[in-house]
C-alpha cells in the first residue's frame, strides 16, 4: 500500500499572471510574469531549480510542442523541462510532476508552470481541435458548453429537479463567483452581476446561458516546490504542504457501458475519495476551509459539490441556493472568482486554483481573504467532458 | 408452381422537411411573379446532412425490414446526383447496410431513366439463377433559384428488391427504346441542368415519345390498354400523364398519383417512388405499368399477387410521408444547397480531412454501426475494441459482431448547442442507450426542441457527418433521430 504524498512536499513559492484578454502579452511573457512572482516568493534563483513541468493544452495555437518553450522563456539552464497535457486538468498534472519529483528525491526543488494564450486563436470560446483520427469519425463535433450542458438535463431528470429551479441554482453559482471576482485584482471578469442578468442571458448550449459559462482567458500560473526540510532551511516559517494529490481518468466506462446516468462526474467522485483518504480527511464538509473547483460551467460547479462528497447526491442545488458556498457561507467556493471570473487559461487553471488556496492559507488574499483562519484548501481540476473526463483533486494545508 | 420473378419487397424514403411552395414563390414574387401558378403543395427537402447515398440507405432499410440480408446477391444505386464521381457510391450503401462483402454493387447514372433501366436489368438477371438484387434510386435535386424546377422538384429515395420466389408483384414484361431526345442536359462536373422549352418537351417528348412506346409495349405484352389498372408515369406536369393515357386508350382513372403535391419530382427516384405508392394501394391481380423517361423510354408491366398485402400493410412510403415537418424557411434551403453564402464563423473552418487508412480499418464500425457483444454475458459495447469496457478482459474469442443501426435507443442526456458550428443550428447531441445494450455518444438529426427530451426513443439514421470542403470528401456516420 502506497503511503501517499501527505506532508512530503512543501510549496516554496507561487506566482500568477493577471488573467484576461491579454492583447499586450505573448504566452512567453505571461510565463515570465507568473514565474517572476513565484521566484521572488520562493526566495531562490533560477539555477536552484532542478526540474520543470509545463502544462499547456492548445499548444498548436500557442507556444508549440514540447517543454522547450518553457526552458527558453525562463532561461532554465541545462535541466529537463517536460510538457504535460491532460485536457483542462493539465495544470494539476504539471504540479503533480514537480511534486512527485521532489517526493521521489529526484529533485530538491522543482517547478510547475501552466500557461495558455487563447486570445491569439481568434475564437470566442475554445478553438475546435481534433480528438484523434478514430474519434473524429464517430465523435461529436460539439463544444465544451454543449458537452457540459448535458449534465444539467440529466441531473434534472435523475433528481426530479425542474428546469426553472435548476436554472436558479446555476445562476446563484455565477452571481456568487462574479461577486468574488470583483474583489480580485488579477481576475479577468471583475463586474458583479445580478440573478436576472444570468437568467435572461442568451443561450449558448441548452440550458446554459452566457453567464453559466466561464471566461476564456490568457494567463499563466506557477508553483515552486521542495521538501519541508529544504523550505525551512531556506527560512520559510508558515509552510503550506501537499496533503493529497489524486488524478483519475475515464476508461470508456461512462461513454460505452450503459451504467452511468450522465448526471455527475465519475472521475471526480473517485479522485475525491482517494484524496480524502490520502489526506486523512473523514468529514470533508467540516474539515475543509475552502474550495477551488473546476467551474467551467455553473452546472459543473453544482454537481461537483456532490461529487466531492460535500453535498448529498441530489441536494447540491439546494445547498447552493442556501448560500453554503458563498464567500460568507460555511464552505466558501471560488473565493478568487473561479474559472468563471478569474478566467480559464486552460493549462494554467489547476495551478491558479492552488495559488488561491496557497494565498488564503497564508493570509495573503487581500480583500477576499477568508475571515476564519483557513487550514485546508481543496482544488478540483477537471478535464475533458462528462462522458470522458480526467479529474485532479489536490489538497494543500498548513503544515 | 415454379418460382416467379418480380418484386419481393419495396421501400421508400422522403426527407421529413417539406418546404412550402408558397414560401418559395413569395420570395420570388418581385422577380418571377409568373411562378405563382406553382405555389401549391410542398416539396421534400433533404437536410444538409442528407444526400442520395443517405436517402438510399433509408429506403433500403425500409425495403429490407424482415428480410434476411444474407440472401441479397447484388445492389445497384441509380441517381444523377451521386456525391462521388469515382468511388462506388453503392459500395457505401452496402457498408451502411452491413451486407456481405460478396455482394456485387453498381452505380447506375447518366439519365432520368437510370432506375427503370437498372430495374429491367435486375429482373432479367433474377429470371436466371441470380440471387435477389436490391435496386435503389435516390436524388437530391439541384436547381437554380427562381426556376420552375426549384418548385417542381423534390428529394427522395426508393428501393425495390427483385428476385424469384414469392413476389408481391410478378413481372409480365419489359420494353425499352433509346432515343437521344435532349429535353435537358447537365455536362459532367456541372451542378445544374439546362432545359429546353417545356411545351416542346411535353408535345414531342412526353406525349409523342412515351405514347408511341406505350402502344408498342402493350402490343408486345399482349395486353390491351383497358386492362392497365395503374399507369405509373413519373411526370410532374399537370394533365400530361392523363393525356398520354387518353391517347393510348387507358382509363384516365388508372393514372397514378405523381406525388408532386406532397414530394415533388424526385428525378431518378421518382418512377420507383411512384411504383411504391401504387403498390401500397394495389389489390391482387391488378396490372401496373411503370414508365421511365429519359433519352428514350422504359416500360415494365407487373401484376400484383396475393402476396401484395404483405407489403401494403406496412406501407413504407405512407409512413415516410407521414413523418412530415412543414417548413417555410426558404433561405435555409438556399444555404443548404450552396446557393447562398452565409457568414459561418471560424468554427466552420475546422479540419475534416479523413485519413483513408483509419476509415478502412474502422469501416464496419463507422459505416455499418457494428458493435460487439460478449456471447457469455450479453454485454454490448461500441465501438468494438480489443479489451472489454465492462471487464477489461480481451474480447477475442468471446465477442461477436453486433449491428446496432436497427436497434431502438433511448436518450440519456442531450443538449442543443448554439456555439458549435452546424449548418442547421443548434447542434443537438448527447448520449443514448440501445435496447438490448450498447451506449453511444451521438449527434441527433431531424431533432427539434419539441421532439427531444431525456427518455425519448430514437431511431438511428445514416447521415453525412461532415464535409471536407478543401478536398471535397463527404464523411458519413450514424445519428439518432427522435421518434415522434
In tens, the pLDDT along A16-36 reads 999 999 999 999 999 999 999
Those residues whose C-beta lies under 8 Å from the C-beta of residue B81, and which sit 6 or more positions away, are B51, B52, B138, B139, B140, B141, B142, B267, B268
Asked if B430 lies within 8 A of A150 by C-beta distance, the reply is: yes
CB of A132 within 8 Å of any CB in chain B? no
DSSP letters spanning B155-173: -EEEEEEEEEES-SEEEEE
The pLDDT value recorded for residue A1 is: 61
Please tell me the distance from the alpha carbon of residue B450 to that of residue B461, in angstroms, as a whole number: 19
Q: What is the ipTM of this complex?
A: 0.93
Q: Which CATH class is domain A144-207+243-398?
A: alpha beta
The arrangement of strands across the sheet holding B4-13 comes to B104-108, B74-78, B133-139, B156-165, B4-13, B169-178, B296-304, B287-293, B230-232
Does residue A80 register a pLDDT over 80? Answer: yes
How many CA atoms are closer than 13 Å to the CA of B176, on its beta-carbon side? 14
The pLDDT value recorded for residue A218 is: 97
Percent of chain B with pLDDT over 90: 96
Which of A138, A205, A252 is facing B366, going by the closest CB pair? Answer: A138
Which chain B residues are Cβ-neighbours of A262 within 8 angstroms? 412-413, 431
Whether residue B426 has a cis bond before it, omega within 30° of 0: yes
Q: Which CATH class is domain B355-369+404-482?
A: mainly beta
Which helix or strand (DSSP H or E) is residue B23 part of? Answer: helix B21-28
Query: B358 in helix, strand or coil?
Result: helix
| Residue (of A108, A117, A123) closest to A73 by Cα position | A117
SS3 content of chain A, % helix, strand, coil (to 5): 40, 20, 40
- Gyration radius (Cα) of chain B, Å: 23
In tens, the pLDDT along A178-237 reads 999 999 999 999 999 999 999 999 999 999 999 999 989 999 999 999 999 999 999 999
Those residues whose C-beta lies under 8 Å from the C-beta of residue B190, and which sit 6 or more positions away, are none
Instruction: State mean pLDDT over A65-77.
Output: 97
B 317-356 residues inside an 8 A Cβ radius of A: 346-347, 349-351, 354-355
Which of A141, A150, A387 is facing B420, going by the closest CB pair? Answer: A141
The pLDDT value recorded for residue B1 is: 44
| Architecture of the CATH domain A10-121+218-240 | 3-Layer(aba) Sandwich (3.40)
| Lowest-pLDDT range of A127-131, A145-149, A266-270, B306-310 | A127-131
Please tell me the distance from the alpha carbon of residue B341 to that of residue A39, in angstroms, as a whole number: 53
Which of A147, A156, A252 is facing B389, going by the closest CB pair? Answer: A252
Helix boundaries (H) for A62-143: 68-74, 90-103, 135-138
Q: Do domains B4-185+195-336 and B355-369+404-482 have the same CATH topology?
A: no
Instruction: State mean pLDDT over B296-317.
Output: 93
Residues A293, A379: contact at Cβ < 8 Å?
yes
Measured between CA atoms, the residue of chain A closest to residue B430 is A150
Q: Do domains A10-121+218-240 and A144-207+243-398 have the same CATH topology?
A: yes
User: A264: distance to nearest CA of chain B, Å?
Assistant: 12
| Residue (of B234, B242, B229) closest to B283 by Cα position | B229
Third-level CATH fold of B4-185+195-336: Peroxisomal Thiolase; Chain A, domain 1 (3.40.47)
Asked if B415 lies within 8 A of A205 by C-beta distance, the reply is: yes
The pLDDT value recorded for residue A129 is: 86
DSSP strand pairing (A80-84 vs A51-55): parallel
Which helix or strand (DSSP H or E) is residue B330 part of? Answer: helix B330-336
Question: Where along chain A do its domains lie?
Answer: 10-121+218-240, 144-207+243-398
Question: Where along chain B do its domains lie?
Answer: 4-185+195-336, 355-369+404-482
User: Cell match 475534416: residue?
Assistant: B352
In tens, the pLDDT along B338-353 reads 999 999 999 999 889 9
Please tell me the distance from the alpha carbon of residue B313 to that of residue A70, in angstroms, as a whole number: 71
Amino acid at each position: 500500500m502506497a503511503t501517499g504524498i501527505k506532508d512530503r512536499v512543501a510549496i516554496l513559492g507561487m506566482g500568477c499572471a493577471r488573467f484576461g484578454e491579454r492583447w499586450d502579452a505573448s504566452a512567453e511573457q505571461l510565463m515570465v510574469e507568473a514565474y517572476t512572482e513565484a521566484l521572488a516568493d520562493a526566495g531562490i534563483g533560477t539555477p536552484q531549480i532542478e526540474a520543470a513541468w509545463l502544462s499547456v493544452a492548445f499548444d498548436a495555437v500557442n507556444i508549440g510542442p514540447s517543454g522547450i518553450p518553457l526552458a527558453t522563456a525562463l532561461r532554465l539552464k541545462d535541466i529537463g523541462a517536460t510538457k504535460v497535457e491532460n485536457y483542462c486538468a493539465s495544470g494539476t498534472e504539471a504540479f503533480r510532476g514537480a511534486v512527485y519529483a521532489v517526493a521521489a528525491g529526484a529533485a530538491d526543488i522543482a517547478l510547475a508552470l501552466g500557461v495558455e494564450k487563447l486570445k491569439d486563436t481568434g475564437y470566442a470560446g475554445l478553438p475546435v481541435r481534433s480528438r484523434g483520427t478514430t474519434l473524429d469519425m464517430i465523435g461529436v463535433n460539439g463544444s465544451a458548453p454543449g458537452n457540459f450542458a448535458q449534465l444539467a438535463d440529466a441531473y434534472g431528470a435523475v433528481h426530479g429537479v425542474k428546469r426553472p429551479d435548476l436554472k436558479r441554482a446555476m445562476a446563484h453559482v455565477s452571481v456568487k463567483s462574479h461577486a468574488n471576482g470583483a474583489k480580485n485584482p488579477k481576475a479577468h471578469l471583475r463586474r458583479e452581476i445580478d440573478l436576472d442578468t444570468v437568467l435572461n442571458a442568451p443561450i449558448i448550449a441548452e440550458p446554459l446561458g452566457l453567464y453559466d459559462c466561464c471566461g476564456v482567458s490568457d494567463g499563466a500560473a506557477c508553483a515552486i516546490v521542495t521538501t519541508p526540510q529544504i523550505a525551512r532551511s531556506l527560512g520559510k516559517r508558515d509552510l503550506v504542504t501537499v496533503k493529497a494529490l489524486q488524478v483519475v481518468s475515464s476508461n470508456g466506462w461512462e461513454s460505452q457501458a450503459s451504467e452511468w446516468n450522465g448526471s455527475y462526474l465519475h472521475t471526480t467522485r473517485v479522485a475525491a475519495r482517494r484524496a480524502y483518504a490520502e489526506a486523512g480527511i473523514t468529514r470533508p464538509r467540516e474539515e475543509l476551509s475552502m474550495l477551488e473547483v473546476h467551474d467551467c460551467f455553473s452546472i459543473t460547479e453544482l454537481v461537483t459539490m456532490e461529487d466531492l462528497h460535500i453535498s448529498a447526491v441530489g441536494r447540491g442545488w439546494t445547498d447552493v441556493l442556501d448560500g453554503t458556498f458563498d464567500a460568507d457561507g460555511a464552505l466558501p467556493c471560488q473565493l478568487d472568482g473561479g474559472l468563471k471570473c478569474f478566467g480559464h487559461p486552460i493549462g494554467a487553471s489547476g495551478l491558479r486554483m492552488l495559488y488561491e488556496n496557497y494565498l488564503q492559507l497564508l493570509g495573503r488574499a487581500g480583500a477576499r481573504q477568508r475571515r476564519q483562519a483557513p487550514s485546508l484548501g481543496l482544488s478540483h481540476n477537471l478535464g475533458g467532458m462528462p462522458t470522458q473526463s480526467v479529474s485532479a483533486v489536490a489538497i494543500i494545508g498548513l503544515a | 408452381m415454379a418460382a416467379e420473378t418480380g418484386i419481393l419487397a419495396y421501400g421508400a424514403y422522403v426527407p421529413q422537411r417539406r418546404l412550402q411552395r408558397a414560401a418559395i414563390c413569395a420570395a420570388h414574387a418581385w422577380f418571377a411573379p409568373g411562378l405563382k401558378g406553382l405555389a401549391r403543395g410542398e416539396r421534400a427537402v433533404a437536410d444538409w446532412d442528407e444526400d442520395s447515398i443517405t436517402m438510399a440507405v433509408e429506403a433500403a432499410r425500409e425495403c429490407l425490414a424482415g428480410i434476411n440480408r444474407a440472401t441479397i446477391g447484388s445492389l445497384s444505386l441509380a441517381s444523377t446526383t451521386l456525391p462521388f464521381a469515382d468511388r462506388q457510391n453503392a459500395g457505401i450503401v452496402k457498408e451502411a447496410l452491413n451486407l456481405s462483402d460478396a455482394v456485387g454493387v453498381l452505380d447506375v447514372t447518366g439519365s432520368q431513366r437510370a432506375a427503370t433501366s437498372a430495374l429491367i436489368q435486375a429482373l432479367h438477371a433474377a429470371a436466371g439463377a441470380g440471387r435477389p438484387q436490391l435496386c435503389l434510386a435516390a436524388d437530391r435535386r439541384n436547381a437554380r433559384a427562381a426556376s420552375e424546377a426549384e418548385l417542381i422538384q423534390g428529394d427522395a429515395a426508393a428501393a425495390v428488391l427483385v428476385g424469384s420466389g414469392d413476389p408481391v408483384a410478378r413481372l409480365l414484361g419489359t420494353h425499352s427504346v433509346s432515343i437521344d431526345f435532349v429535353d435537358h442536359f447537365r455536362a459532367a462536373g456541372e451542378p445544374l441542368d439546362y432545359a429546353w422549352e417545356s411545351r416542346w418537351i411535353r408535345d414531342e417528348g412526353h406525349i409523342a415519345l412515351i405514347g408511341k412506346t406505350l402502344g408498342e409495349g402493350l402490343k408486345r405484352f399482349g395486353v390491351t390498354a383497358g386492362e392497365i389498372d395503374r399507369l405509373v408515369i413519373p411526370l410532374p406536369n399537370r394533365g400530361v400523364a392523363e393525356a398520354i393515357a387518353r391517347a393510348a386508350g387507358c382509363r384516365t382513372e388508372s393514372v397514378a398519383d405523381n406525388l408532386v403535391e406532397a414530394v415533388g419530382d424526385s428525378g431518378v427516384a421518382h418512377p420507383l417512388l411512384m411504383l411504391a405508392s401504387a403498390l401500397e394501394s394495389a389489390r391482387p391481380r391488378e396490372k401496373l405499368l411503370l414508365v421511365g423517361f429519359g433519352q428514350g423510354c422504359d416500360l415494365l408491366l407487373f401484376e400484383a399477387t396475393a402476396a401484395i398485402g404483405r407489403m401494403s400493410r406496412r406501407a413504407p412510403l405512407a409512413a415516410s410521408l407521414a413523418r412530415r415537418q412543414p417548413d417555410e424557411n426558404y433561405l435555409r434551403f438556399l444555404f443548404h444547397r450552396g446557393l447562398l453564402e452565409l457568414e459561418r464563423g471560424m468554427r466552420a473552418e475546422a479540419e475534416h480531412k479523413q485519413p483513408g487508412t483509419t476509415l478502412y480499418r474502422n469501416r464496419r464500425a463507422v459505416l455499418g454501426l457494428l458493435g460487439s457483444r460478449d456471447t457469455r454475458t450479453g454485454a454490448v459495447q461500441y465501438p468494438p475494441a480489443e479489451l472489454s469496457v465492462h471487464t477489461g478482459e480481451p474480447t477475442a474469442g468471446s465477442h461477436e459482431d453486433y449491428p446496432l443501426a436497427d436497434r431502438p435507443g433511448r436518450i440519456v442526456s442531450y443538449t442543443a448547442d448554439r456555439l458549435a458550428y452546424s449548418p442547421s443550428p443548434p447542434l443537438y447531441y448527447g448520449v443514448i442507450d440501445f435496447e438490448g445494450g450498447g451506449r453511444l455518444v451521438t449527434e441527433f438529426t431531424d431533432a427539434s426542441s419539441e421532439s427531444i427530451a431525456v427518455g425519448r426513443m430514437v431511431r438511428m439514421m445514416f447521415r453525412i457527418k461532415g464535409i471536407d470542403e478543401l478536398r471535397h470528401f463527404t464523411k458519413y456516420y450514424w445519428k439518432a433521430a427522435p421518434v415522434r
